[in-house]
């Protein structure tokens, strides 16, 4: 029974490893990126003046991404709003829950955009940009949870003028990736401008025609599928073999206990009738013992 459980655990581990492997090829997790950027921002927060935007230095394996942070007092944030990065947050926006001071972390994922966010059937014509608010009441560290924003006046606007590809003759769509994982499309409110009523990640897309690149990607998936299928087959065969071995071992064990019982019976029988019994070598010493006076 212990051996059964052990094999069961091994198969579960192998299978979840495979699933993670396939998932890892597909995309990176935006949630974990947020946590990571939060960490880098937090570690470089102290001794920066309120109201000034400064760049967060990321390790070289994130080059191509752009992250910056600003600390603001809630009072002035409410009264004046902010205009940093591509986001214009108007006045009369309330961070929730109430905090004395907040930090807004802006990111531009640059060439990493399509690694973290995929939209089948669409192409990005701007990098994915985002912002998130944290409690910065303690000037030397960020609060753990994200703040949400309640809009009492105008919505927050995103100006894509300087970061958007312009040579397209198709209808642009604003896209919003909310922190809860939902995706929402909207029309542009003004040329090169989208709006939002909360934090999250944003971009501009156009419907994508099927390109050779996509065929290539499909082909890649086909290869991955074949490899995964092969591995699954090998696993199935392994599973079959071990199951067979287990069943056989169990059967052998049953036979052994059966013959043990039989042996005991024979010995008792021989003991009672004092008959010589030579068919089984294992009982021989006992017989010899009985017949040697």
Ligand X SMILES: *[C@@H]1O[C@H](CO)[C@@H](O)[C@H](O)[C@H]1NC(C)=O
Minimal CA–CA distance to 201: which of 275, 108, 280, 292? 108
Least distance from ligand X to the Cβ atom of residue 134, Å: 8
Could you say which of 47, 49, 162, 171 contacts ligand X (CB under 6 A)? 171
Could you say which of 67, 142, 164, 174 contacts ligand X (CB under 6 A)? 142
Could you say which of 140, 166, 169, 273 contacts ligand X (CB under 6 A)? 140
Could you say which of 88, 214, 270, 277 contacts ligand X (CB under 6 A)? 88
Could you say which of 27, 32, 52, 83 contacts ligand X (CB under 6 A)? 83
Select the span of 91-99, 133-141, 177-185, 246-254 touching ligand X (CB under 6 A).
133-141
Task: Give the separation between CA 32 and CA 11, rounded to whole angstroms.
Answer: 27
Spell out, one character per residue from 23 to 62, where the chain touches ligand X: x when CB under 6 A holds, - when not: -------------------xx-------------------
Share of the chain residues as helix, strand and coil, in percent rounded to the nearest 5: 45, 25, 30
Would strands 146-151 and 156-159 be described as parallel, antiparallel, or unpaired?
Answer: unpaired
Give the nearer residue to ligand X in terms of CB position, either 144 or 251. Answer: 144
Residue with the two structure tokens 């070289």: 60
Give the nearer residue to ligand X in terms of CB position, either 83 or 257. Answer: 83
Q: Which residue is nearest to ligand X (CB)?
A: 64
Does the footprint of ligand X cover residue 169 (CB under 6 A)?
A: no
Could you say which of 3, 27, 32, 138 contacts ligand X (CB under 6 A)? 138
The H or E element spanning position 156 is strand 156-159
Least distance from ligand X to the Cβ atom of residue 19, Å: 23
Q: Tokens for 246?
A: 């287990």
Does the footprint of ligand X cover residue 146 (CB under 6 A)?
A: no
Could you say which of 27, 50, 52, 111 contacts ligand X (CB under 6 A)? 111
Largest CA distance in the chain: 114
Residues in the chain, how many? 293
- Assess contact for 82 and 95: CB atoms under 8 A: no
# of chain residues touching ligand X (CB under 6 A): 16
Q: What per-residue string of b and e applies to 94-116 under the rule 16 or more CB within 10 Å gives b?
A: ebeeebebbbbbbbbbeebbeeb
Select the span of 50-58, 107-115, 191-199, 270-278 touching ligand X (CB under 6 A).
107-115
CA atoms within 13 A on the CB side of 167: 0
Task: Give the separation between CA 280 and CA 266, rounded to whole angstroms.
Answer: 10
Q: Where on the chain is the footprint of ligand X (CB under 6 A)?
A: 42-43, 63-64, 83, 88, 111-112, 115, 138, 140-142, 144, 171, 187
């Amino acid at each position: 029974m212990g051996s059964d459980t052990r094999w069961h655990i091994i198969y579960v581990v192998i299978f979840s490893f495979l699933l993670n492997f396939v998932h890892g090829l597909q995309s990176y997790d935006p949630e974990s990126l947020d946590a990571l950027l939060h960490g880098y921002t937090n570690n470089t927060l102290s001794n920066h003046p309120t109201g000034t935007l400064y760049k967060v230095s990321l390790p070289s394996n994130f080059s191509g991404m752009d992250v910056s942070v600003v600390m603001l007092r809630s009072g002035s944030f409410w009264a004046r709003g902010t205009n940093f990065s591509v986001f214009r947050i108007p006045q009369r926006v309330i961070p929730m829950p109430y905090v004395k001071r907040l930090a807004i972390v802006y990111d531009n994922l640059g060439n990493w955009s399509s690694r973290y966010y995929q939209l089948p059937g669409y192409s990005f014509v701007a990098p994915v940009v985002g912002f998130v608010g944290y409690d910065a009441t303690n000037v030397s560290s960020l609060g753990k949870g994200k703040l949400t924003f309640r809009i009492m006046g105008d919505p927050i606007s995103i100006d894509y003028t300087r970061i958007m590809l312009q040579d397209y003759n198709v209808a642009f769509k604003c896209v919003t990736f909310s922190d809860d994982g939902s995706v929402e499309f909207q029309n542009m409110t003004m040329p090169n401008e989208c709006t939002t009523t909360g934090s999250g990640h944003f971009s501009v897309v156009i419907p994508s025609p099927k390109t050779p690149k996509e065929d290539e990607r499909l082909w890649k998936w086909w290869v991955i599928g074949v490899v995964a299928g092969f591995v699954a087959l090998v696993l199935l065969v392994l599973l079959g073999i071990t199951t067979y071995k287990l069943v056989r071992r169990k059967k052998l064990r049953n036979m052994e206990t059966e013959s043990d019982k039989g042996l005991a019976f024979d010995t008792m029988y021989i003991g009672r009738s004092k008959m010589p019994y030579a068919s089984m070598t294992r009982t021989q010493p006992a017989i010899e013992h009985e017949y040697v006076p």
